[in-house]
Structure 1
Amino acid sequence: MGGASKKPISTVEKRMKKMAEEQQKKQQKRATTKTGKELTSKNVVIDNETLKKVQEELKKETIVTPYTLSTKLNVTISVAKKILEELERQGVVKIGTKDRRTAVYIAAS
């Protein structure tokens, strides 16, 4: 007769509260590195303003690599590669040399 007894509501509430706190701690850990510094997002939408900044930088440089561009604009290297590829399609820069890892771009003037 009768089934298994159910846990009291207070126990269930305590468990839910504890799980919510653990999830918040996990999210806070993801937001910081091992050294305790906060991670900053370097994702950038490639818009006309960004392209104009890059073109101004190209006037100062003779050659540009994705690494040099990423350090100057504070973006990831993959974003810098996409920016340089877009500028190549527009004819602003041309590839000087390219291997499987990196490409060196020269201002097409």
Structure 2
Amino acid sequence: MGGASKKPISNIEKKLKKQQEEVQKKGQKKTSKTGKEVTSKAITVDKDTINKVQDELKREKIITPYVLANKINVNISVAKKILEELERQGMISQAVKNRRTVVYVTNS
């Protein structure tokens, strides 16, 4: 008996066409199911944001990630990271920690 038969040219062409379409899809921007473009939500904290946070800390006695996120217009996850960094620097201290949220108190 002979060896394995070769694939027909039409199958090889189909495979190459699929690979080209996949490469084109990777190059396109991602869209959600509703058709809107997905944007990157990575935020870098600049000097203006830090100044806003420090001003808020002067006004408030206690602060939570939700309150900070609403005041400076960032995501709650970003606000959590900012507050954690401020705690490491010693500007604020953790008063209460729940499984859902953390309450911070200013040290001044």
Q: CA offset at residue 57 of structure 1? A: 3.6
Q: TM-score normalized by structure 1?
A: 0.63
Q: TM-score normalized by structure 2?
A: 0.64
For structure 1, the 5+ residue unaligned runs are none
The residue aligned with 1:3 is 3
Deviates more, 1:78-87 or 1:48-57: 48-57
The residue aligned with 1:93 is 92
The residue aligned with 2:66 is 67
- How many equivalent pairs are there? 106
Deviates more, 1:2-11 or 1:98-107: 2-11
User: C-alpha deviations, 1:41-90, integer Å up to 9, x for none?
Assistant: 222355x6354442234334443211233343423x33322221110121
Q: Using a 3 Å threshold, how does the CA distance of structure 1 residues 90 and 37 change in structure 2: closer, same or farther? A: same
- Per the alignment, in what secondary structure is the counterpart of residue 84 of structure 1? helix
Q: Using a 3 Å threshold, how does the CA distance of structure 1 residues 98 and 13 change in structure 2: closer, same or farther? A: same
Q: CA offset at residue 6 of structure 1? A: 1.4
- Per the alignment, in what secondary structure is the counterpart of residue 43 of structure 1? coil
For structure 2, the 5+ residue unaligned runs are none
1:85 is matched by which residue type in structure 2? E
